[in-house]
Amino acid sequence: MAEFIEEGSYVATSETDEPRSALTREEANDCLHRVEASEWHNEACQELNVSYKNLTDVSVISSHFKDVCGVNVSGNKLTSEALRVLETMPKLEVLQADQNCLTSAELKPMKFLKKLTLNMNELTYAGTSVISHESLKYLELNYNLISTVAFEAEKLPNLTLLELCDNALTTTAENPFLRNIEQEEEGRKYRRIVLMMLPRLRRIDKELVLDQERNEANELLERMQNEGYGFTDFDLED
């Protein structure tokens, strides 16, 4: 396979013969913009929007723009490995990487990351073994291929909104307790299961979590623990 040699050049690979594109420092500098303090940013700072540029390499961001507070790389051709170069950015609070070629959401814990969107990729798993950012409040994983979720609340203590619309949530193993949870009319069985894992959530798929849902989830969790089951395997099938 041909290697990327010069910043900003295009090199075809032997596997696909498609051009590979790396973001240049000059291009990135033109995409900087200032944002004011908000829910996501404690103070005014700079964000970098390099969306929809057919990029496969954004390493220049972490090497030359490491102090920006937000990065949008949506609509490119980044692999999971290519995205991981951003995990070293010490001040990153918002990361948007929708519509790429991601097969894993794995990133090293990022201390200040509050918002992460990975919609319309090829993810098959979502859980705190790959997503464990202590400040994360907002997580979007819509329109992927996710069949398995396994979250631990203590690793996502600030998460209040989770979106999992249009995935492939299925039975991951035999768990009689969760398999026997009564099917809900609108196919929202998984909401209660997700709430059992992440009881602090305020919204799931943009809809507010109702007190009744939260109470039911707490009761189910207590029953499940009393009967000796855990979240090693569970049923999220609609």
Amino acid letter, residue 11:
V
pLDDT in tens, 69-120: 999 999 999 999 999 999 999 999 999 999 999 999 999 999 999 999 999 9
Mean pLDDT of the 157-172 span = 81
pTM across the whole model: 0.78
> Which long-range contacts does 121-125 make (Cβ < 8 Å, 24+ apart)?
121/97, 124/148, 124/168, 125/149, 125/150
Query: Closest Cα to residue 181, out of 133, 146, 119, 227?
Result: 227
* Residue where a domain stops, chosen among 117, 133, 168: 168
Claim to verify: residue 14 and residue 130 sit in the same structural domain: yes
Claim to verify: residue 52 and residue 22 sit in the same structural domain: yes
Claim to verify: residue 110 and residue 20 sit in the same structural domain: yes
The SS3 call for residue 70 is: strand
Claim to verify: residue 30 and residue 6 sit in the same structural domain: yes
Mean pLDDT taken over the chain? 82
Q: Are 63 and 22 in contact (CB under 8 A)?
A: no
CATH number of 98's domain = 3.80.10.10
CA distance 62 to 88: 7
At 181, is the pLDDT very low, low, confident or very high (cuts 50, 70, 90)?
A: very low
Report how far apart, in Å, the C-alpha atoms of 215 and of each of 210, 218, 227, 229 are: 9, 5, 18, 19
* Residue where a domain stops, chosen among 131, 153, 168: 168
Claim to verify: residue 71 and residue 152 sit in the same structural domain: yes
Place of tokens 């039975």: 171
Claim to verify: residue 9 and residue 108 sit in the same structural domain: yes
Domain that holds residue 161: 1-168
Domain count, the chain: 2
Helix (H), strand (E) counts: the chain: 6, 11
Residue 53 confidence (pLDDT) above 60: yes
pLDDT in tens, 131-161: 999 999 999 999 999 988 888 889 999 999 9
Amino acid letter, residue 145:
L
Q: Are 67 and 90 in contact (CB under 8 A)?
A: yes
Claim to verify: residue 161 and residue 182 sit in the same structural domain: no
Claim to verify: residue 161 and residue 177 sit in the same structural domain: no
Claim to verify: residue 37 and residue 121 sit in the same structural domain: yes
Tell me how crowded residue 215 is: count the other CB atoms within 10 A of its CB: 11
Share of the chain above pLDDT 70, in %: 79
